[in-house]
Amino acid sequence: MTNQPVSRRTAVRSITCALGAGVTLGGCAGHKASPFRVAAFQADVTPPLGHPLLGGLRKPALRIEDPLSANGLVLLGPDAPLLIVGVDWCEIRNEAYDRWRAILAQATGTLPERVLVSCVHQHDAPHSDWRAQRFYEEYKAPGRLCDLRFEEQAIQKVAAAVRESLRTPRNISHVGIGEAKIERVASNRRTVGPDGKLRWNRMSMTADLAVRDQPEGTVDPWLKTISFWHDDRPVAAIHSYAVHAQTHYGDGDVSSDFLGAARARRQQDDPSVTQIFLAGCCGDVVVGKYNDGKPETWHGFSDRVHGAMVSAWNSTERSPLRAIGFRCVPMRLASRRSPHYTVEEFKASLADPATAPVRRWESALGLSWRERADAGRPIDVPAIDFGPAQLVLMPAETFVEYQLWAQKMRPDTSVMVAGFGECAPGYIPTARAAAEGYDDSYSWVAFPECEKTMLSALETALGAAPARRRSTADHRTIQENS
């Protein structure tokens, strides 16, 4: 298997006629564009009590602190619809991810590749990999990763909400873009130890003051908003910010955490405007530097994110929506081949009753990924081009540097990068992180080779002109405090 993007008929999907670098849904140049419409939907996807959370690694659902939801919209035009949805789940992987896209595509009347499913990545939430769950059953391993019956019901509930929304779509004529800076929320996982070596030791809640006091590191502090309008009347808004979505987890309290709370508050501000939140590329970005574990601190994070949503809204600049472009790049990431990552070792770990729970969990997930990757099934990198703004969906726990690189690739537009699409690869680090000694076990892709593949897919999806090969020495460090 090569570590390069692959073609599926062509790397860029031409839906109707080309309009510059994009593909229009609104008609070819020289013809009057048909009106665009948006159908917004929301569905409750809260698991029942007793359901595994975070793949069964911690306590199951004991209490519902606040409900989990799937919030999305369908973009309608003369061609096939596009669906975007943010799901308050930890991860959706492999067969489960395929199922979500297939069922929602059927409900929408579109193709699965035109369905963008992104998890917000709360940890006190379902972690879905149906093939991995069957590996547990096949090897008679104790515990459960997920409940396939509940998850199928949740998918069907979202599909029903989509179908209902399509009965009353709203016209849109303009697209808006806004952004606002957030301070004292995001921080990078990497810190420097007393020996001067980089370490991967800042978690979502970091008790060690010496670690918390380390510099903030590389983050993207900008929350971005893409909004849709009918003349001067707002219809819907998509927000994105790159940070792990948890302040606390593991005690069985199902929660959408501070990002879900911020989105809910923004929805209450104006119930007529649908609010959607997508997590950015934040595999290496958490609230750990600023999280002392106190509930008032968690509420403070929600206040800052909500405030940024309001500020981004107030700074919004609108432009006529003349066309919507779409590209979908099939990408193959090579599998990790280092010790403990072979198919034989994964199977041996599952078969051994003495295997530690974390190792058993990672082995089932690793087997699920290898089965997919070895069969040559690529991961889609879809991008929607609104003209003044683009939205691209990246897989899994992609590191924040990829988001910063994507923004540099298209300086002529506002690029919103969402993460946690197909979550099967786990962490997707940069070459620089690998050189610094990054070696987390929750990563099933070959690194540092993955960087070249990811950048190539991003360039194609965004319609960027091929640039000199970027490297980790050529990224925009947003905040590198000292």
Domain residue spans of the chain? 18-423
- Quote the CA–CA distance of 343 and 84 in Å, as a whole number: 34
Evaluate if residue 134 carries a pLDDT over 60.
yes
Q: Where is average pLDDT lowest: 13-17, 358-362, 414-418? A: 13-17
pLDDT tens-place string over residues 101-120: 999 999 999 999 999 999 99
Q: Which tokens in the block code for residue 66?
A: 């606040």
List the structure tokens of 337: 């081949």
**pLDDT grade, residue 461 (50/70/90)?**
very high
Share of the chain above pLDDT 70, in %: 90
The C-alpha atoms of residue 393 and residue 457 are separated, in whole angstroms, by 11
Q: What is the mean pLDDT of residues 7-36?
A: 38
Q: Are the beta carbons of 409 and 457 closer than 8 angstroms?
A: no
Percent of the chain with pLDDT over 90: 81
Could you tell me which of 396, 121, 398 has the C-alpha nearest to residue 256? 121
* 15 compared with 211, residue with greater pLDDT: 211
Q: Is the pLDDT of residue 470 over 90?
A: no
Query: How many angstroms separate the CA atoms of 99 and 83, rounded?
Result: 15
* Minimum mean pLDDT range among 2-16, 52-66, 414-428, 454-468: 2-16
CB 372 within 8 A of CB 424: yes
Which of 227, 229, 336, 204 is closest to 275 using CA atoms?
227
The residues, ordered by sequence, that sit 6+ positions from 424 with a Cβ below 8 Å of its Cβ are 93, 94, 97, 129, 365, 368, 369, 372, 379, 395, 396, 444
Give me the pLDDT at residue 472, please. 42
Give the model's confidence band at 78: pLDDT under 50 very low, under 70 low, under 90 confident, else very high: confident
Per-residue pLDDT reduced to its tens digit, 354-391? 999 999 999 999 999 999 999 999 999 999 999 999 99
Q: What is the CA radius of gyration of the chain?
A: 21
Averaged pLDDT, 211-224: 95
pLDDT, one tens digit per residue, over 300-309 is: 999 999 999 9
Query: Quick one: pLDDT at residue 441?
Result: 93
| Per-residue confidence band for 23, with pLDDT thresholds at 50, 70 and 90 | very low
| pLDDT tier for residue 16 given thresholds of 50, 70 and 90 | very low
At residue 467 the predicted structure's pLDDT band, cuts being 50, 70 and 90, is low
**What value does the mean pLDDT take over residues 322-327?**
96
